[in-house]
Structure 1
Amino acid sequence: MSRFLDIINQDKPVLVDFFAEWCGPCKLMAPILKEVKDSLGETVSVIKIDVDKNQLLASQYQVRGVPTLILFKNGKQLWRQSGVVQKKDLISLIERNK
């Protein structure tokens, strides 16, 4: 938990993907997130949190469905959405919040 807080408290955008291994849409998000990271490089952190292995964390952030994406910067939640989000939309969102 403290490591998660250290990560989301960075002064650059941190995109957190709450996912589950059994989730079909989550599998669709994986390559999209890789492309986003490849496009933006070190200007963003992208981390994946398995809700089945991190139930307390998922509960704390009120994750009700997967995938749920949350964008943090300096520990503040800037944006949140459940479901598959397209690469161009994520890049645009992150660029606006650098």
Structure 2
Amino acid sequence: MAIVNVKDSEFAQTVKEGVVLVDFWAPWCGPCKMIAPVLEELNAKVGDAVTIAKVNVDDNPETAGQYGVMSIPTLKLFKNGVEVGTQIGVRPAQELEAWVQSQL
């Protein structure tokens, strides 16, 4: 499954079912660019079991505000619509994979 770009209006529906990893990011953010290939690698490994979604905070400030995103990249993990964890900043692929696998 491909990584999906999510708008404010689609967010609740996107995280409603299953395990969803959400990347809050912006195009001007250097660390956000650094984590993008890590998320692609993670998607290749767990994409069948986990949805990876990206929320551009510049275009979708409502969702970012609702979840208290103050710095980016912020990764939030949801399970069946409930937030179960947060990671801020760039993380190694193995660490993110272990974090996501803990919810499967």
Task: Tell me the distance in 2 between the aligned counterparts of 1:51 and 1:64.
Answer: 10
Residues 24, 69 of structure 2: 8 Å contact kept: yes
State the shift of 1:2 in Å.
4.6
Unaligned residue ranges in structure 2 (runs of 5+) = 1-7
Residues 11, 63 of structure 2: 8 Å contact kept: no
Structure 1 residue 6 and structure 2 residue 1: aligned?
no
TM-score by length of 1: 0.94
Spell out, residue by residue over 1:39-86, the C-alpha distance to the aligned partner (whole angstroms, 9 max, x if none): 112100001000000011111111000000000011111110110011
Hey, which bits of structure 1, 4+ residues long, moved more than 6 A?
none
Bigger proportion of residues as helix: 1
The 3-state SS of whatever aligns with 1:58 is helix
Structure 1 residue 15 and structure 2 residue 15: aligned?
no
RMSD across aligned positions (CA)? 0.9
Aligned-pair identity (%): 41
- AA matched with 2:47: G
- AA matched with 1:73: K
TM-score by length of 2: 0.89
Task: Tell me the distance in 2 between the aligned counterparts of 1:41 and 1:23.
Answer: 24
Identify the residue that residue 42 of structure 1 maps to in structure 2.
Answer: 48
Identify the residue that residue 32 of structure 1 maps to in structure 2.
Answer: 38
Identify the residue that residue 70 of structure 1 maps to in structure 2.
Answer: 76
Spell out, residue by residue over 1:3-31, the C-alpha distance to the aligned partner (whole angstroms, 9 max, x if none): 21111111x21000000100000000100
Count how many residue pairs are aligned between Structure 1 and Structure 2. Answer: 97
